[in-house]
Each structure stands twice: as C-alpha cells, then as structure tokens.
C-alpha cells in the first residue's frame, strides 16, 4: 500500500514537472516572439529615422543653395538670410519632433504588445491548470473517489477520456 502511494506521488510529481516544463517552453516561445517583434520594430524605427535624417539633410542643402543663390544674385538682404536660417531651424525642429513622435508611438505599441503577450500567456496557463483540475475532479467523481489525490496513474494518464464528459455538464 505504501509502495503504491509512493509510486502515485512520484508519478504526480513527474506529471507536475512535465507540465511545468511545458509551461516554461510556451513562455520561452512567447518571449522569443516578443523579442523578434522588438527587433523588427527597432529596425523599422532605425529605417524611418534614417529616411527622416536624409529628408532633413536634403531640405537643409536646398535652403543653403537658395541662400547662396540669393547672395550670388545680390538680391537678398540680411533679414532674408535670417529668414532662411529660421526656416531651416524650424524644419529641423519639425523633423525632430516627428521622429520623436514616431519613436514614442513605436514604444507604446511595443509596450502594449508585451503586456498583451504576458496577459495571454498568464490566461492560457490558468486555463490549462483549470482544465486539468476539472478533468481530475471529474475522473475522481466518476470513479467514486472522495479526492483527486486518490486517482491512480492510469487515470491521470488518460484524463482526455473525461474531456467529453466536461462538455456534457
């Protein structure tokens, strides 16, 4: 009797370890997926940043060319030169603000995805545990046992048999 009890406890411990390993594997997969998305968003952010920098550089060069042309033609005054410089500064500020807003949007999106992934992982683990306990309780009731602790190894291995009974309840 004691040997059967020890074997049953060992089997329960083994099943618990297997379930924990499976949960850890699922969590690792979800973490890898989140990391993959983070890398993608970071690369996309860098690409957008480079594009914006190129646009800003092009606009600055364009304004400088205009400034030089107007100076060359002798038609620009000191105030017009300041106007070009102010336009260049305003455009730089506008580009930087746009880049900052894009980065913030990407960070927010990434944070939301991480939180969602964590919530889904937690909910799925809770559902798996609840379903397993429900199947074990159903098996104990159908065998006339007062507790799930008294289930034998074969019943624990074949809990899927009781899945159809859950849908009937």
Say if CB 113 and CB 34 are below 8 A apart: yes
Confidence bin at 47 (pLDDT 50/70/90): confident
Average predicted confidence (pLDDT) for the chain: 78
Higher pLDDT, 117 or 144: 144
SS3 letters across the chain: CHHHHHHHHHHHHHHHHHHHHHHHHHHHHHHHHHHHHHHHHHHHHHHHHHHHHHHHHHHHHHHHHHHHHHHHHCCCCHHHHHHHHHHHHHHHHHHHHHHHHHHHHHHHHHHHHHHHHHHHHHHHHHHHHHHHHHHHHHHHHHCCCCCHHHCCHHHHHCHHHHHHHHHHC
What integer is the mean pLDDT of 26-30? 85
Averaged over 20-32, what is the pLDDT? 85
Q: What is the pLDDT of residues 63-121, one digit of tens each?
A: 666 666 665 555 555 666 666 667 777 877 888 888 888 888 888 988 888 888 788 77
So what's the pLDDT on residue 3?
Answer: 86
pTM of the model: 0.40
pLDDT score recorded for residue 75? 53
Radius of gyration of the chain (CA): 33
Q: Which of 22-36, 43-57, 131-145 has the lowest mean pLDDT?
A: 43-57
């Amino acid at each position: 009797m004691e040997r059967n009890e020890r074997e049953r406890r060992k089997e329960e411990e083994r099943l618990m370890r297997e379930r924990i390993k499976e949960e850890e594997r699922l969590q690792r997969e979800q973490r890898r997926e989140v990391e993959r998305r983070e890398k993608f968003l970071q690369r996309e952010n860098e690409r957008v940043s480079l594009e914006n920098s190129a646009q800003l550089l092009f606009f600055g060069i364009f304004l400088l060319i205009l400034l030089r042309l107007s100076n060359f033609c002798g038609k620009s005054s000191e105030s017009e030169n300041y106007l070009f410089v102010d336009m260049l500064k305003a455009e730089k500020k506008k580009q930087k603000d746009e880049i900052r807003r894009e980065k913030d949007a990407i960070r927010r999106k990434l944070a939301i995805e991480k939180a969602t992934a964590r919530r889904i992982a937690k909910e799925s683990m809770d559902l798996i545990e609840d379903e397993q306990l429900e199947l074990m309780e159903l098996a104990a009731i159908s065998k006339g046992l007062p507790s799930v602790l008294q289930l034998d190894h074969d019943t624990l291995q074949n809990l899927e048999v009781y899945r159809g009974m859950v849908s009937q309840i």
